[in-house]
Amino acid sequence: MTQPKVRVRFAPSPTGYMHLGNARTAIYNWLYARHHGGSFVLRIEDTDRERSTQGAVEVIYEAMRWLGLDWDEGPFLQSERFELYRRRAEELVASGAAYRCWCTPEELEQRRQQALAEKRNPKYDGRCRDRKEPRPGVEPVIRFRTPDTGETVLEDRIQGRVVTPNEELDDLVLLRADGAPTYNFTVVVDDHEMGVTLVLRGADHLSNTFRQLHIYRAFGWEPPAFAHQSLILGPDRAKLSKRHGAVSVLQYRDEGYLPEALVNALVRCGWSHGDEEVFPLPRLIELFDLPAVGNAPAIFDFEKLRNKYNAEHIKLAPRERLAGLLCETLARRGDANLQADDPRLGLLVDGLRERSRTLLEMADGAKPLLAEEVAWDAAAVRKHLKSDAAEVLRALADRLEAAPSFGREAVLAALDGLAAERGAKLGKIAQPARVALLGTAVSPPIDVVMAVLGRDRVLARLRAGAERAAAG
């Protein structure tokens, strides 16, 4: 028998922002689909009309696009499929697998309290299972008839074999009195209708899976395979939450992270390949598969995301792309408004990428090179613009002025030439030059600084620096 084509899905509920746990589920499913040449379906689970918002749906699309997780089918909106769920629920009523229940919320609550007081399981007592006649004035719900005995076995592709006694499960509501379907029902109908072959999601849904398996059986449908990833924890091993740091995906974009770095960090939360840590996306697609996903709780390391993953992916990213991102970041922060094709952007990337852990740090490093005014650091001036520096700076300016062209190479040639002529170390010339050019002794490589400043500014600042040194 040929295996059906791999089809996986990401099925978020749009009730808030997209957090790191959601993102990891989306990434695992996307990678699984890409690795196996399958399809990736996006389904928005917006059946809870009170909690779902259009804004939250947009955030999901935006986060998916930013992460680069393109979907092959969808987005399907469950809110547009109520008629289908209603029809399917009626099928189960007709076959006897589900029934109408007229118990009112007040009655249910009262019976629940009583069961608790008598130390019995407070689950629905099955009172309406065989009731046929409606109760006037009460809109019924549709409930699923869960077997009272036996057990349900799940062969989970990550967690292994998990068994639940059926008596622990409730006769769950499939359709509420107002006709709105519930999560456990819509998820089964949709995963079946959409031909999903593997349900890969967070372990918080593990207990729901048993309920869902019963519904598959009642329809006579073959269930998909299931794989439940262990939850993500913070460094203190508590469930990941806001108090650990940013948990919203788009906040990472705003804080200067590259999407591939966040993807890398999240994939490594539960999946590994030997000792390798930094993975470009194509390599993840090539390597990612379920057997290497562990079932131990995974810890999200915020420090490592910045210091390792983001720093390394900044080193790996194409120059033009970083130039574009730097341009956007500078504009967004009001640091500088450059044209996207400004050649200074590429130079800044060359000079700053090795030392920047985020795009914000890169923008911090770029800002002084783009400023009209020099911001003088008094200590650097005192140290490097002493009177003997005046002559060095003048000589450097003369050399650069005489050079036939201006750019990183010409700058290096002038510095080397001057150092050789005087038998001086390069630093003896470069340090005062740095301070004359930027006001500080800490900066990207001097050739980059000069290339970004441009010939006229460099000559003017070197000569002004010489005067300041002579006067000092």
Active-site amino acid positions:
242
Binding to ligand GLU in span 106-165, by CB under 6 A? none
- Whichever of 45 and 447 has its CB closer to ligand GLU, that residue is 45
12 touches ligand GLU by CB under 6 A: yes
Measured from the CB atom, the residue of 215 and 400 that comes closer to ligand GLU is 215
> What are the CB-based long-range contacts (under 8 Å, 24+) for 116-124?
121/167, 121/168, 123/169, 123/170, 123/171, 124/170, 124/171
- Tell me the closest approach of the beta carbon of residue 352 to ligand GLU, in angstroms: 39
Structure tokens at 245: 């740091």
Structure tokens given for 150 = 């036996």
Give min distance, CB of 49 to ligand GLU, in A. Answer: 14
**Residue 188: closest CA among 169, 176, 174:** 174
Of 27-66, which residues contact ligand GLU (CB under 6 A)? Answer: 45
For residue 432, cis peptide bond before it (omega within 30 degrees of 0) = no
Stretch that binds ligand GLU, among 9-17, 83-91, 219-227, 348-356 (CB under 6 A): 9-17
Residue of 7, 8, 11, 211 interacting with ligand GLU (CB under 6 A) = 11
Stretch near ligand GLU under the rule CB under 6 A, chosen from 8-16, 250-258, 386-394, 401-409: 8-16
x/- map, 195-234, ligand GLU, by CB under 6 A: ------x---x-----------------------------
Give the C-alpha separation, 291 to 340, whole Å: 44
In the block, residue with structure tokens 């000092």: 472
- Distance of closest approach, residue 440 Cβ to ligand GLU, in angstroms: 49
What is the closest distance, in whole angstroms, from the C-beta atom of residue 95 to ligand GLU in the complex? 24
Please give the C-alpha separations between residue 240 and each of 19, 67, 148, 231, in angstroms, as whole numbers: 10, 20, 36, 8
Contact status, residue 224 vs residue 197, Cβ threshold 8 Å: yes
Element (H, E) at 295: none
Nearer Cβ to ligand GLU (49/382): 49
- Least distance (Å) from ligand GLU to the CB of residue 55? 16
Q: How far is the CB of 185 from ligand GLU (least distance, A)?
A: 12
Q: Which is nearer to ligand GLU, 152 or 431 (CB)?
A: 152
Among 33, 60, 169, 187, binds ligand GLU (CB under 6 A): 187
Under the criterion CB under 6 A, does residue 21 sit at the interface with ligand GLU?
A: no
φ/ψ of residue 345, rounded to 5: -65, -45
Inter-helix orientation angle 455-471/426-438, to 10°: 100
Which DSSP state fits 16? S
Closest CA relative to residue 258, chosen from 202, 201, 324, 337: 324
Q: Which tokens sit at 130?
A: 């065989």
- Contact window for ligand GLU (CB under 6 A) among 5-13, 152-160, 300-308, 367-375: 5-13
Task: Considering the complex, state which of residue 184 and residue 356 has its C-beta at the smaller distance from ligand GLU.
Answer: 184
Residues that bind ligand GLU (CB under 6 A): 11-13, 45, 187, 201, 205
